[in-house]
Amino acid sequence: MADIHALTRELHIRNDHKIVMMVADGLGGLPVEPGGPTELEAAKTPNLDALARRGVLGNSIPVLPGITPGSGPGHLGLFGYDPIRYVIGRGALEATGIGFHLHDHDVAVRCNFCTLDEQGNIVDRRAGRIPTEESTQLVEKLRSIQIPGVEVFVEPVKEHRCVVVFRAPGLGDRVADTDPQETGVPPLEPVGEDEASRKTAEVAAEFLRQARQILADQPKANFLTMRGFAEKPKLPSYEEVYGLKAAAIAVYPMYKGLAKLVGMEILGPVATLEEQIALLEEVYNDYDFFFVHFKYTDSTGEDGNFAAKVEKIEAFDAVFPRIEKLSPKVLIVTGDHSTPSYLRSHSWHPVPTLLVSDCCRPDGCEAFSEREALQGGLGHFEAKYLMSLALANAGRLGKYGA
């Protein structure tokens, strides 16, 4: 497997050329009737269309043909990290998703509150899906748990879910789930596969012992199960592999968390696209690379709301004159995957992608759309190569070999 970082690590050059990557989550779409337009084709996007005439288009394959990514692999690909090689374990992604910034050697675990009967057998693996307010209070109680030599963090997620993070040197993450995936049986004991993971398993067992006492009186959520033990993934930083001082301007914790994992600085807080662009303008001189994340093209797609996705694309289009005023050397517009409202979910379809610099080879594309992107100069490419294209267009990659 070709590792593009082996090249960018050696070849990158520092200069003051800036790269702005605008990510419209779930950008790619589908028609809702045969031969009709996609959301992007139906949207009026005069600014993106003008950029398409100056720049070069292509189709980004998030992972591999046919593979539908979640947000984690989708963004890792855009950030230039092979999403097959770099895997963010479930616990680590869950922690990332709620904005918990993992340290090296933290082990994060996704937990579900559950209901045990008097014999200690699970009768409800999700504790009746207790409301978030209730689980937040239980999390507060669990924070009293103390384990010598280990920092313990307990964070609420949604409904019956929470995240536990163990912080101590030498903890491994090869620990089996304690959720037996069925009812009528007791939860499993945590079991570690190697020495470091056995240490984690002991810590987890002690956590569970104390949690059982603390939760004993609860009518529904009288225990919890653990799944997806995961260390912070070992991702080389943007600074190291690209020589870029990078900043993320995102509204939602998941995308801030993913950017943090590759060493971007997280700016904000910001709540709207307007605020994101204002912040971009404000800090423009302070960084080399900006990742700006726009969520609503994905959420409207997941709702199956074609018209709303069109509207969100048009709102996204409207900010580009302000970005162009900043005159970035390289401007990229893409998505981490497609979310066609027809499918109401993420999909495998390639993502229309636009790259604008002063050294794009003209490809004759007249608009930013899926159909036009098929004729685009970038062709079909795996998302993981987008960053090397960005660096090249920014004059930030030297020659390979003499």
Q: Determine, following the binding rule CB under 8 A, whether residue 391 of this chain makes contact with a second copy.
A: yes
Q: Is 398 in the site for a second copy (CB under 8 A)?
A: yes
> Considering the rule CB under 8 A, would residue 65 count as an interface residue with a second copy?
yes
Applying CB under 8 A, which of residues 13, 64, 185, 216 lies at the interface with a second copy?
Answer: 64
Number of residues engaging a second copy in binding (CB under 8 A): 73
- Rounded to whole angstroms, the Cα distance separating 392 from 12 reads 9
CB of 160 to a second copy, least distance (A): 17
Closest CA to 58 of 385, 301, 347, 340: 385
Residue of 375, 265, 355 whose CA lies nearest to 78: 355
Cβ atoms of residues 14 and 243 within 8 Å: yes
Least separation, in Å, of the C-beta of 93 and a second copy?
Answer: 5
Bridge partners (DSSP) of residue 108 are: 165, 230
Round to whole Å and give the CA distance between 17 and 77.
Answer: 22
69, 172, 187, 192: residue in contact with a second copy (rule CB under 8 A): 69
Q: Which segment (83-91, 157-165, 196-204, 301-309) binds a second copy by CB under 8 A?
A: 83-91
Determine contact, residues 75/86, Cβ cutoff 8 Å.
no
For the bound state, the minimum distance from the C-beta of residue 214 to a second copy, rounded and expressed in Å, comes to 28
CA–CA gap between residue 79 and residue 145 (Å, rounded): 38
Residue 219 in the binding site for a second copy (CB under 8 A): no
Residue 184 sits in the site that holds a second copy (CB under 8 A): no
Segment 365 to 384, residues that bind a second copy, using CB under 8 A: 370-371, 374-381
| Closer by beta carbon to a second copy, 276 or else 357 | 357
63 contacts a second copy (rule: CB under 8 A):
yes
Residue located via tokens 């307010």: 133
Single-letter amino acid, residue 310: V
- CB-wise, 199 or 232, nearer to a second copy? 232
3-class SS of residue 163: strand
> Rule CB under 8 A: which of 88-147 touch a second copy?
88, 90, 93-94, 97
CA-to-CA dists, residue 217 to 78, 214, 394, angstroms: 47, 8, 61
Q: Does residue 400 belong to the site contacting a second copy (CB under 8 A)? A: yes
Minimum separation from the CB atom of position 309 to a second copy (A):
15
Q: Which is nearer to a second copy, 94 or 173 (CB)?
A: 94
Q: Quick check: 31 binds a second copy (CB under 8 A)?
A: yes
Where are the alpha helices (H) located in 151-289, listed in sequence order?
195-215, 238-242, 253-261, 273-283
Structure-token pair, residue 390: 């960005």
Task: Check residue 21 for interaction with a second copy (CB under 8 A).
Answer: no
- The H or E element containing residue 24 is strand 19-24
Residue 225's Cβ-side half-sphere holds a number of Cα atoms within 13 Å equal to 27
**Does residue 252 belong to the site contacting a second copy (CB under 8 A)?**
no
Which residue lies nearer to a second copy by CB, 158 or 371? Answer: 371
> 236: closest CA among 107, 336, 104, 109?
104
Residue 325 as a binder of a second copy (CB under 8 A): the answer is: no
Task: Name the one range near a second copy by CB under 8 A: 79-87, 187-195, 270-278, 283-291.
Answer: 79-87
Binding mask 342-361 for a second copy (x = CB under 8 A): xx-xxxxxx--------x-x
